[in-house]
Amino acid sequence: MKFNYQGIQIFVKDSYEAISEKSAQIVAAQIILKENSVLGLATGSTPIGMYERLVKMYEEGKIDFSEITCFNLDEYYKLKPENEQSYSYYMDKYLFSKVNILSENIYIPSGITDDIEGVCRKYDEEIVNHGNIDLQVLGIGNNGHIGFNEPDIRFEAGTHLVQLDEETIKANARFFDSIDLVPRQAISMGIRNIMHSKKILLLANGENKAKILEKMLFEDVTPNIPASILQLHNDVTIVIDELAAKYIKHRL
């Protein structure tokens, strides 16, 4: 089912597999139409199925990553790339080691640094030097975060060091052996980086995302619901399942 709500395209699918298929098709179309696309990528559990399908399309010769550049949204502070919970490790595992992307075209903010400000400014510069992101893939946190832009009193513009919310730490504890091992800080692209992307693709599945999706679309734009800023972007596609669409479907 497809809806258009205030210019935002919303696809409601009946399963996680169908979300993964649809989102992979959207990313593949971007890659086919512009071979040197700049992609903004997310980690977390939601896009794993999408990455699996993109790898399959690559193996079947349908898409080529040789001219693609990727910028990841975020990385845990002080987690080394070889740490299995790092987002570097995740991206390698699910996508980068399985397709023909060039290592020099992969950008992930480095959490291993004493010059956090320098790393952040350089990341912003690299994104701008690449002409900004063509297609930014996003998940959404239960608290409305996109990237690791947590609810706050203001929108953070560029790449920055974030203090993770208790809710985010709890939600992400499932990827670690214990909640104590979840890093308390991360480096994240800011809202300006995300909003300067030419297209946005946001994915969500499961009932635990239903309330926040309703808030993001129907409440006023506020830094307290970071994803609400997407109401002001002119090219947003949302791909969700029936469970996540529970509170919005009847309002579309």
Vertex 158 angle, CA 234 and 121, to 5°: 135
What x/- string results for residues 96 through 135 when contact with ligand F6R is judged by CB under 6 A?
----------------------------------------
Contact residue for ligand F6R among 9, 25, 45, 85 (CB under 6 A): 45
Query: Of 237, 226, 242, 241, which Cα lies nearest the Cα of 192?
Result: 226
Of 87, 27, 17, 91, the closest CA to residue 54 belongs to: 27
Residue 162 is classified by DSSP as: E
Give burial (CB, 10 Å; 0-12/13-18/19+) of 51: buried
Which of 109, 141, 144, 226 touches ligand F6R (CB under 6 A)? 141
Query: Does residue 73 bind ligand F6R (CB under 6 A)?
Result: yes
Q: Does residue 241 belong to the site contacting ligand F6R (CB under 6 A)?
A: no
Helices within 134-235 (DSSP H only): 166-172, 191-195, 210-218
Q: Which of 23, 37, 43, 88 binds ligand F6R (CB under 6 A)?
A: 43
Residue 8 or 73: the one with the smaller Cβ distance to ligand F6R is 73
CB of 163 to ligand F6R, least distance (A): 15
Alpha carbon separation from 228 to 2, 140, 150, 233 (Å, rounded): 20, 11, 12, 10
- 144: contact with ligand F6R by CB under 6 A: no
Eight-state DSSP code of residue 252: -
Tell me the closest approach of the beta carbon of residue 209 to ligand F6R, in angstroms: 7
Distance of alpha carbon 87 from alpha carbon 47, whole angstroms:
13
Residue of 49, 111, 139, 226 that binds ligand F6R (CB under 6 A): 139
Region from 9-17, 40-48, 99-107, 111-119 binding ligand F6R, contact rule CB under 6 A: 40-48
Q: Is 86 in the site for ligand F6R (CB under 6 A)?
A: no
Element (H, E) at 239: strand 236-241
131 vs 12: CA distance, rounded Å: 31
Tell me how far, at minimum, the Cβ of 137 lies from ligand F6R, in Å.
9
**Closest distance to ligand F6R from the beta carbon of 146 (Å):** 6
Secondary structure tally for the chain: helices H, strands E: 7, 11
Cite the active site residues: 74, 143, 145, 150
Q: Which is nearer to ligand F6R, 77 or 148 (CB)?
A: 148
**Residue nearest to ligand F6R according to CB distances in the complex:** 139
Q: Which residues bind ligand F6R (CB under 6 A)?
A: 42-46, 73-74, 139-141, 145-148
